[in-house]
Structure 1
């Protein structure tokens, strides 16, 4: 028998949640084949088998949290699924006790007797762990399993069950104190690991960083005219559309070179100023916001940036991002305008100290030519949230003005980014 363990994932990831068993007990597995999907704080990771054989047993259930190094499954090396017909049948899980053990379980009163010690109760590892965390006696947990085996859901049900009041308390309690029936108009959903992590990280940022936001507006007439003029030739030559993100990415890189503290992070009492430009691009997915990174954006041309952003966005939507795709970003761009946002105050993506917010393009009357005439121009509000611990207001405003100037004269992007 061979043990399948949770491998080392990344320096900052020590645990994950089993989101989906891809193989079931009794299934044939090949070396290098994925047997389960693990949801981590950042991405979903396929855990593969290092052995050829049959999946003999799974030691955790979907929804269980497992740590790096935990044994999560047992593989019978060299075995064939054909030799285990009972195990491969859907109605016969591999965890079910053997006939002799089953007879002993049915004959033993320990499982059904409320006063039996919890150690004699047959329970899954997840159920025992949850029971310990909540201080629940497993012998007092009802179960519908025909073998009397307590699973994690049984413990959850027991923990959520209303406590029985003492007889005299029940008699004294007024009728109005009876709990109201659950409102069937309310749906209770468990937060995914990723959503929990997003919530925790964003709250930690608010608690530790001195976040301030400054705003400006950009006239995108020149960018839109350039895109209109070059988009067909650009698409034909590079097989990718010329969007807005490459212009903003190039403008951000140029502005970061002028204001280097926005391309830094705080570590203890030190400031780490980074001389490389890995620009994170926030992407919304069904499971939450993720921020894949365009590495060395200062060394890439417009086509390379557009192509990489498109590829990363597709991987994000298909849940195919790897940990490497999301690590070591130095600054982030988020585009709320995709969803119609006119103005917002983006929150920092720790440990970064700056994030640029893009918004909807709206045609508005603007004074031009030294305020001698009014024209309707495509305008966008942009917002910079920054950590005031190391970035002052003057630097933040200068950063946004730099971006505005380059986007309103996009030829400068070729020279300065």
Structure 2
């Protein structure tokens, strides 16, 4: 007998939720084959079976919370092989007169069994399985363009957006992800929050309860950055095979400002302030399951192309639900860009134990006073710095934000900052 145990997840994560059993009692599982999908506070992961055999028992149901080290399933090692040998012995010497009818009656059963096995062994990403489960979609009905037959999240999304008549052949019980109930005579729907959404809610409340959070605002004339990007973007792409965006400019400006105001790159632990001498910048990425903040390491040592490439890579991993726990840990400061959704102004909330977060917003053409006599339409962006007032005074916070503003309005100065 082999036990399926919840593996070590990360230093700060001690439990997870059974998102989906990929095998059920009686199913055969190969050694190294995925048997269950776990949902943790930060990422989803699939657990493999260390032995080949038949699943005898599932000790936790989908939706149950399980602890690291807990036994969640039992696999009887080698059970399938024994069963196959027995079946071979029973069918090796059939009577000649009965051979034909036996074959005729077993063929449909074997075909049905093969179809069932193929359905159970369907290869799909954790994100695809989760989305299909939420939308009540049978993954075996979802077409994929992947050459290996792996169903991706994009495939499920495309399939779910097809006209109703194309998907109406799905089982009736899969039509709705959650049953509607009546409340005061009005229809409502109850949807269980995912573990990640529960954790996001919990952490945001904790931050507001445990930090003296305050926000200061400013605006940046983006003319110089936009003109520089326009002149250099084609050559930049040819040389580095990555597009020059705004995030690398903001990241480099933030690093320069953190060097000038080191308290903003710190963490409060009891009565001690931990001043961090490295610059690992978190970049907030929106996914279907909520906001995640993968970390770009050593931004002070990277050029614009390296930063843009790293941001592109972690954003793709986040949306494909392939982030590792190490991708999300250890950030010293965070940048969030609500402008991609059209936000004009907002107050970002601190990320975990960090004491500062910069909020970017949409670029909007507005009339700006150049001097006492001239007005011009300029591409302007509001920026916001939320900070922990227990650590940072208003003077430092305003100075930090003004430094970011000045560097972005004079982007050549970023080269002098290293």
User: Matches of 1:257 and 1:33 in 2, distance apart?
Assistant: 48
- Out of 245, 254, 265, the position equivalent to 1:243 is 245
Please show how residues 267-282 of structure 1 align to structure 2 within 5 Å.
267-282=269-284
Whether the 8 Å CA contact 1:54–1:81 is kept in 2: the answer is no
Evaluate the alpha carbon distance shift between residue 184 and residue 51 of structure 1 in structure 2; reply closer, same or farther with a 3 A threshold. farther
User: Matches of 1:182 and 1:199 in 2, distance apart?
Assistant: 27
Evaluate the alpha carbon distance shift between residue 414 and residue 247 of structure 1 in structure 2; reply closer, same or farther with a 3 A threshold. same
Q: Which residue of 1 aligns with 2:267?
A: 265
User: Matches of 1:403 and 1:397 in 2, distance apart?
Assistant: 10
User: Matches of 2:185 and 2:32 in 1, distance apart?
Assistant: 48
Q: Which residue of 2 aligns with 1:11?
A: 11
Evaluate the alpha carbon distance shift between residue 2 and residue 258 of structure 1 in structure 2; reply closer, same or farther with a 3 A threshold. same
TM-score, length basis structure 1: 0.75
Cα deviation code 1:69-118 (max 9, x no counterpart): 110111122332782899x9779xxxxxxxxxxxxxxxxxxxxxxxxxxx
How far did residue 384 of structure 1 move? 0.1
Whether the 8 Å CA contact 1:26–1:81 is kept in 2: the answer is no
Please show how residues 13-412 of structure 1 align to structure 2 within 5 Å.
13-80=13-80, 83=83, 183-368=185-370, 370-412=371-413
Cα deviation code 1:218-273 (max 9, x no counterpart): 00101100111111111111111111000001111110011111111111111111
Whether the 8 Å CA contact 1:210–1:387 is kept in 2: the answer is yes
User: Matches of 1:222 and 1:181 in 2, distance apart?
Assistant: 56
User: Matches of 1:82 and 1:367 in 2, distance apart?
Assistant: 84
Evaluate the alpha carbon distance shift between residue 206 and residue 319 of structure 1 in structure 2; reply closer, same or farther with a 3 A threshold. same
Deviates more, 1:215-224 or 1:53-62: 53-62
User: Matches of 2:374 and 2:254 in 1, distance apart?
Assistant: 31
User: Matches of 2:80 and 2:413 in 1, distance apart?
Assistant: 66
Q: Which residue of 1 aligns with 2:151?
A: none
Matched residue SS, 2:392: coil
Matched residue SS, 2:309: helix
User: Matches of 1:235 and 1:371 in 2, distance apart?
Assistant: 41
User: Matches of 1:335 and 1:62 in 2, distance apart?
Assistant: 35
User: Matches of 1:371 and 1:382 in 2, distance apart?
Assistant: 25
Residue 411 (structure 2) pairs with residue 415 (structure 1): no
Deviates more, 1:25-34 or 1:299-308: 25-34
User: Matches of 1:306 and 1:371 in 2, distance apart?
Assistant: 39
How far did residue 189 of structure 1 move? 1.0
TM-score, length basis structure 2: 0.75
Matched residue SS, 2:322: coil
Matched residue SS, 2:38: strand
Evaluate the alpha carbon distance shift between residue 53 and residue 221 of structure 1 in structure 2; reply closer, same or farther with a 3 A threshold. same
How far did residue 20 of structure 1 move? 1.4
Gap runs ≥5 in structure 1: 92-179
Evaluate the alpha carbon distance shift between residue 183 and residue 310 of structure 1 in structure 2; reply closer, same or farther with a 3 A threshold. farther
User: Matches of 1:13 and 1:190 in 2, distance apart?
Assistant: 21
Whether the 8 Å CA contact 1:27–1:81 is kept in 2: the answer is no
Whether the 8 Å CA contact 1:41–1:194 is kept in 2: the answer is yes
Matched residue SS, 1:80: helix
Deviates more, 1:302-311 or 1:23-32: 23-32
Whether the 8 Å CA contact 1:42–1:290 is kept in 2: the answer is yes
User: Matches of 2:320 and 2:327 in 1, distance apart?
Assistant: 14
RMSD: 2.3
Gap runs ≥5 in structure 2: 88-108, 118-181
How far did residue 26 of structure 1 move? 3.0
User: Matches of 2:251 and 2:29 in 1, distance apart?
Assistant: 45
Evaluate the alpha carbon distance shift between residue 61 and residue 217 of structure 1 in structure 2; reply closer, same or farther with a 3 A threshold. same
